[in-house]
Amino acid sequence: MAAVAELAGVTITRGTSVLLDSIDLTIFEGERWVVLGPNGAGKTTLLQVLAAHMYPSDGVVGLLGDVVGTVDVFELRPRIGLTSAALADRLPRGERVLDVVVSAAHAVLGRGNEEYEQMDLEQARNLLSDLRIDHLADRTFGTLSEGERKRTQIARALMTDPELLLLDEPAGGLDLAGRESLLLTLSELFVDPDAPATVLVTHHVEEIPEGVTHCLLLADATVVAEGPIRETLTDENLSRTFDMPLHVTELDGRWSARSVSRHG
Ligand SMILES: Nc1ncnc2c1ncn2[C@@H]1O[C@H](COP(=O)(O)OP(=O)(O)OP(=O)(O)O)[C@@H](O)[C@H]1O
């Protein structure tokens, strides 16, 4: 099985700050990773590296068979789907949902004068259906609920048939029903053998969808632990990551965590 991403000794510095410190990570086709860690740990920075939006200050980043820095990133980026709150903010509020999705095929943020091929339109409609928002195709992006916007973004990220899908806090800010329903949709995607390798960033173990295979725990710019999720997401590793005694449980592929009472 081919490696989709290979990070070796990747360090990112800005001024005197170290955002990522000597990260080693290999992601293979078919793997679904979750990156967990507290605020400021470096999760979004790691996603930016995996999206070829940030170059390492030190170390080597291999993406989809190429070494970042030696290839044209504008050819690399369309092969990687990314969703994040920052990208969502840049999507035009007045744009039709179908156009928000289909315009990704042309690597633009809004629909301009591009001639959309019939095939692209069909694919966009199929993705809206997979993400269960086909009924919203003609609504404007700005009128959607938070959950509907997240689904639109994921459909947009999948539009270019990416080989790597990066999701930055896809369930962040959703209510319980919104979260559970989005996690179900993501689980359906994760069990599809044709779905791209995926990296999902979150602060909460409750936001890990069923079907996630691997876990990377990040704290203070460094890896606390990484590997297959059941071996990695342990009480000890999670407690070290969040710097408090935590107890983690798994039931049918879903996770929860709570603090360990100091009062016995
Ligand atoms: N340009 C920069 N210069 C200096 N420090 C930066 C810069 N960009 C980010 N940082 C810092 O790097 C650290 C990691 O940021 P990052 O956004 O990757 O963390 P995160 O784990 O995604 O956090 P959160 O969960 O709060 O979103 C933070 O402390 C942040 O303040």
Residue the block writes with tokens 């876990």:
215
Helix or strand or coil: residue 126?
Answer: helix
Distance 41 CA to ligand 1 centre (A): 7
d(C-alpha 153, C-alpha 222), whole Å: 29
Overall pTM > 0.90: yes
CA distances from 164 to 2, 30, 234 (A): 12, 10, 26
Q: What is the pLDDT along the chain (264 residues), one digit of tens a residue?
A: 789 999 999 999 999 999 999 999 999 999 999 999 999 999 999 999 999 999 999 999 999 999 998 988 888 988 999 998 888 888 889 999 999 999 887 765 555 555 667 888 999 999 999 888 999 999 999 999 988 999 999 999 999 899 999 999 998 888 888 899 999 999 999 999 999 999 999 999 999 999 999 999 999 999 999 999 999 999 999 999 999 999 999 999 999 999 997 654
Whether 202 is in the pocket of ligand 1, judged by its Cβ within 6 Å, is no
Distance 170 CA to ligand 1 centre (A): 18
Tokens of 41: 């740990």
Helix or strand or coil: residue 53?
Answer: coil
Distance 182 CA to ligand 1 centre (A): 26
Question: What is the gyration radius of the CA atoms in the chain, in angstroms?
Answer: 18
Whether 41 is in the pocket of ligand 1, judged by its Cβ within 6 Å, is yes
Reported ipTM: the value is: 0.95
Whether 49 is in the pocket of ligand 1, judged by its Cβ within 6 Å, is no
Type of residue found at 113:
N
Q: Whose CA is nearest to atom 3 of ligand 1?
A: 14
Task: Kindly report each contact of residues 259-263 with a partner whose C-beta sits within 8 Å and lies 24 or more positions away, as own/partner.
Answer: 260/235
CA distances from 162 to 52, 79, 82, 142 (A): 13, 4, 9, 25
Determine the residue of 10, 18, 34, 43 to mutate for testing ligand 1's pocket, defined as the one with the most ligand atoms within 8 A of the Cβ atom: 43
Is-contact 50 218, C-beta < 8 A?
no
Is-contact 82 160, C-beta < 8 A?
no
CA distances from 232 to 176, 218, 262 (A): 26, 12, 24
Q: Whose CA is nearest to atom 30 of ligand 1?
A: 40
Distance 40 CA to ligand 1 centre (A): 5
Structural domains of the chain, ranges and CATH numbers in brackets: 3-259 (3.40.50.300)
- Ligand 1 atom with the smallest distance to the CA of 218 is 21
Residue the block writes with tokens 């789907």:
81
